Each structure stands twice: as C-alpha cells, then as structure tokens.
A and B are shown apart, each in its own frame.
Chain A
Amino acid sequence: MSETLISVENLSLSFPNHPVLTNLSFKVNRGEFLGVIGENGVGKTTLVRIILNQLRPSSGEVRLKDGLKIGYVPQFRNVDIEFPLSIKDFIALNFTGIKLPWLSKKEKARIKKVIELVGLTDIANRPLGLASGGEKQKAYLGQALVNDPDLLILDESTASLDPNTKQELLDVVLRLNKQLGLTILFVSHDMQLIHKYPDHYLWLRKGKYTTGAMSDLHNENQEGQYV
C-alpha cells in the first residue's frame, strides 16, 4: 500500500448562495498521476486553492502528509513579451527566503538539472518573454520543480497550447511521473488528454463527483455524459 500524500474528507465549500464543492472525499497516493476533470466553473481551481491553503473550506478537511512539498504551476501568469528575465533566472526565482542574495553551488546545480528535465537547456538564457507558449509552460514547470517537490499540481497548464505542444508538455510530465516517481495532480477540462495520460481521475460535476482508476472512466464515458 503506497503512502497517502493528500487525504480529502467530506470537503464542502460554498460561496454565498452558490455551493461549489459538496461533500468531496478522495485520496492522492505517492506515485499517482491523478487527472482532475470537469467543465469550467465546477470548482477545480477552488479545490487546488484549498489544497494549497489559500482558501478555507466551509466544512470537511484536507490532510497533507507532514512536510509535504508541493510544486504548483498556476493557470495564469503575468509574463508579457517584454518580460526580461531569462528562463534560467525565472526558474531561480523560486529559491526564496532571507538568505544570501547569490545562489549556492547546490542551488545552481539544481537549476541546471531542472532545465535538463524540462528540455530547455538550449534556450536557458533566452528571455522568457520571447519564448513560445510551450516553452513558457515548460519554464513554469521547471520553476515548480526547483525545490524538489513530492507533489506537482498543474492547473490548466495545457489550455492555451496547440495539440502537439500539449502532448509534448505532458510527455515531460509523464516522464517525471514514471521515471522519478513524482506524484502529479493534473487539472484540465480536456477529456482527450485526461484519457491519455493520468492513471486515476477525479471528475467534478455540479454538486457531485466520481473518482477511480482510468479504466472506470472509460466505462463511465460510454454512458455519454460528457464529451
């Protein structure tokens, strides 16, 4: 039995006159690739924000494993074409804290390693503002990886990408999951991608949800409830 990283029990959250999540329970185990799917507005990002401790649930609880390190790739980023930092310097931003301003040898080595993992070695010194959509997403992924997390949360990271670039990004994520055993929580409304990559799913719908192994989703889908 693998270790449980996140355990969600009877979680509910309502905004005034508007229930978002109702009585949600599920677990994320180490090494899992969990796809969180659902149409826009069902509370996917809300759930992520509760896990990240940025929002308080109305009832129920979210328990994280002690000392769990989460790497998070947010849905929106304020990076425009004039954003000046190189991909490498952008990734280094996640080394925060009241410490010496310059990076240690260990930190530099980690940045190099992460840039290799996401496949950006050739353009590591290029300004992020001039990178393509897919390269930007890889840089965001790299930044989330730099502190060596146990769990990686990707919130609609593929939403703005063309089909080939989506696949390319998710191939990187899948490699992190299979080869390095990184646990993934992949949030998306893209049914095709959810079918292809994750091994488990959590399907949020208005007021209800289903969860299980990917093969269950294939059966559920044949009932034609969601395309």
Chain B
Amino acid sequence: MFELEFMRNAYFAGTLIAIVSGMMGVFVIARDMPFMAHTLSEIGFAGASFAVFIGWLPLNGMLAFTTVSSVLVGELSGSVQSRREAVISAISGLFIGMGILFLSLSSKNSSYATSILFGSVIGISHHEVIQMTFLSGVILLILLMIYRNLKDDSFDSVGANTNHIHRSLISIVFLVMLAFSVSVAAQIVGSLLIFVLLTLPAASAKYYVHTVAKMMGLAVGFALFGVWVGLYLGYLTNWPVTFFIATIEAVIYALALVFNAVRKTSL
C-alpha cells in the first residue's frame, strides 16, 4: 500500500488532520460549537468551488472563505449566545448558495464537486501536503500560546469574566483557528463530513478522561484510529474512505455513551 505515493501522502495528511482535529475538537465541544464546525465545512465547500471557478487550489479558496466567515460570525453574533445560531444559519445559507453558483459557472464536471464534498484520497498532491503541514503547525503553535486562556474561557466562561482575559479576542482567534482546521481536514474527509473529526473524537473522550490535556490526547487517538483504519479499509475495498471514518467515529461515540450510562448506574 505504501509503495503508492498517493497513499503515503494520504496517510501523512490524515495523521496531521487527526492531530489537529482531535486537539481542536476538545474546545469545539467545550464551547458548544459543533454547529459552527459543521457550518464552516459547508462554507469551505463554497470556498473550494470558488477556487475552482477562478483557477486557485481548492485549499486556498477554503481558507479565504472560512476565515472571513468565521470572523463575520464572531463579530455579528457578539456576546449574545442565542443569536449565534441564527447568524450561523444565515451565513451558511448564503455561502452554500454561492458554492452551488460557482460550481455551475465553472467548467469543471460534477466529479470535481463530489471530491470537494466527500473528500478524496487520490487528490492530495505533494504541494498540498506541504501547505497542510505548515497550516497545522500554525494552528498548534497558536493553541500552545493561548492554551491557558482558551481553556479557562472554554470550560468556565463565568469564571473567565473575572480573570482579566480578553474573551472576545480569544473567541475570534479560536474561530480563525477553527477555519484553518476545517480547511486542512476537508482535504481527506471532504467538506460535508469534516465536523465528524472535529466533534466526535472529543465528544467521546470526555467520558473517559477528565483533564483537558488527557482529553486532547485521547481525542487525537480516536481520530487517528478512524483515519488510519478508514484509509486502509478504503484501500482494500475501494469504498469511500469518508464512509469508513464517519462510521468508525460514530461507533466510538456510541460506545462512549454506553460506557457513561453504565458508569452512572454503578455510581
């Protein structure tokens, strides 16, 4: 399997994606933002189709669209939690519409749309792998820098109010990091299913371990397991890798819920 260059690229990229998604996912769950992660994925689709339309690499279009829209969501929803979901719906609707428009305007055929939406293992070039490595490095570096404040703001927003943390800045920085993560992760799982890696591993990990560091570690583990096994099964069967990854992560989450229910009855 590894004698094929695209499989080597896919495994390398998949590993990066799993590490970034697992770590970021812990904060996506703590900040109650799975819907935002899902929306950014859809916006990523619009960005990729825009890129195809004007002849960029899809990754660059995704980066541009997701970054701009994440800042927009942060600014428009402000501190009003209940408004956030409606703002997200408005922005995501607008962007998906644009994505469909750009795809129909560009001359590429529908199989290109399929690979943006559902991911593609074969599509990852050496150049994209380098760009993904760079982006992942940036995300992890920022994460390490703001780790303590992000942790406080995400897990104890009430307490963070009195800790002299610039909460709105943290919120915008986090959204931009999330936009980067979505664009990176979309390369393999596709824009429709990125949120699977950004939510389920972290949502499962929180039932087993109880420190932020351990949750990040376990979430990365769950994501890696899904991506590695998914790629292998995809290679064996020629079925879509995304299907395997989504199924594996869903099963891991279901098992975590069962574990939690059993623990509750034994307490």
Contacts and interface: CB of A to CB of B under 8 A. Distances in A.
Interface of A: 52, 54, 70, 72, 74, 76-78, 82-86, 88-90, 93-99, 101-102, 125-127, 130, 143
Given A76-B158, A130-B267, A85 B163 contact: no
Contact of A95 (B148, B161, B213): B148
B252 to A, nearest CB: 16
A67 to B, nearest CB: 14
A167 B149 CA distance: 34
A54 B149 CA distance: 19
A130 B266 CA distance: 13
B210 A143 contact: no
5 contacts: A89-B212, A93-B156, A96-B152, A96-B164, A102-B213
A78 B147 CA distance: 20
Contact of A96 (B145, B149, B157, B215): B149
B144 interface: yes
Contacts of A85: 155, 210-212
Nearest to B214: A89
A72 B156 contact: no
Give chain B's interface residue range (CB within 8 Å of chain A). Answer: 20 to 34
B123 interface: no
Nearest to A125: B210
Contact of A54 (B151, B161, B215): B161
A117 B212 CA distance: 24
B206 interface: yes
A96 B159 CA distance: 11
A78 B161 contact: no
Contacts of A98: 145-146, 148-149
Contacts of A127: 210
Given A89-B211, A93-B156, A96-B148, A72 B206 contact: no
A27 to B, nearest CB: 22
B229 interface: no
Contact of A52 (B147, B159, B162, B207): B162
Nearest to B263: A130
B251 interface: no
Contacts of A90: 155-156
Contacts of B161: 54, 74
Given A77-B158, A101-B148, 9 more contacts: A74-B161, A89-B211, A90-B156, A93-B151, A98-B146, A98-B148, A99-B148, A101-B147, A127-B210
Contacts of A88: 211
Contacts of B213: 102
B155 A96 contact: no
A89 B148 contact: no
Given A72-B162, A85-B211, A85-B212, A97 B149 contact: yes
A94 B161 CA distance: 11
Most buried by B among A84, A126, A127, A143: A84
B86 interface: no
A97 B148 contact: yes
A9 B134 CA distance: 56
A94 B210 contact: no
B149 A84 contact: no
B148 A86 contact: no
Contacts of A82: 206
Contacts of B162: 52, 54, 70, 72, 74
Given A85-B211, A101-B144, A96 B163 contact: yes
A76 B225 CA distance: 39
A87 to B, nearest CB: 9
Nearest to B148: A96
Interface string B138-180: 0000001111110110011111111111000000000000000
A96 B158 contact: no
Contacts of A93: 151-152, 155-156, 159
Most buried by A among B147, B149, B156, B165: B156
